[in-house]
Amino acid sequence: MDTNAVQSVPKIMVVEDDPHVLRQIAFALEHEGYAVTTATAGDDALRQLMLDRPDLLVTDVMMPGLDGYDLVDQLRRDEKLCDLPVIMVTARTADEDISKGFSSGTDIYIEKPFKPSELVAFVRRFVGPAKPDAQP
């Protein structure tokens, strides 16, 4: 085993204004071993993303200030963040909402209520498992 090789834990930012949902998502991801940062508004998230790019963004749509669609749209216009994978988790389930999500640059659109195991499976698709021994 190469002792010089350091395996970094994937970093995930979660943006959600509902504290219960935020805790649910953060707990599910931390339980899997991911490093999680959080924000409760899109504009705060954008500031954090500019300072410290995570490996993946999980965001809600309906938030105070900058909503999830606009947050993703701004990421896609930024040279350093344009390729950041995005999972949108939202109660907005109408066809036009889903279309708007994908048009803004969202990679995966998950409707609330959601299964934490489903979210974790999509996270693994983008960043791999957080723990070397984790099963897909």
Residue 118 has pLDDT above 60, yes or no: yes
3 pLDDT tier (thresholds 50, 70, 90): very low
Whether the bond between 113 and the residue before it is cis, its omega within 30 degrees of 0, is yes
Residue labelled with tokens 């907005």: 92
pLDDT in tens, 25-38: 999 999 999 999 99
pLDDT at 26: 98
Structure tokens at 29: 């991801």
Domains and CATH numbers, the chain: 11-125 (3.40.50.2300)
Among 2, 4, 12, which Cα is nearest to 128's? 12
pLDDT in tens, 37-84: 999 999 999 999 999 999 999 999 999 889 999 999 999 999 999 999
pLDDT at 131: 77
Structure tokens at 103: 């048009």
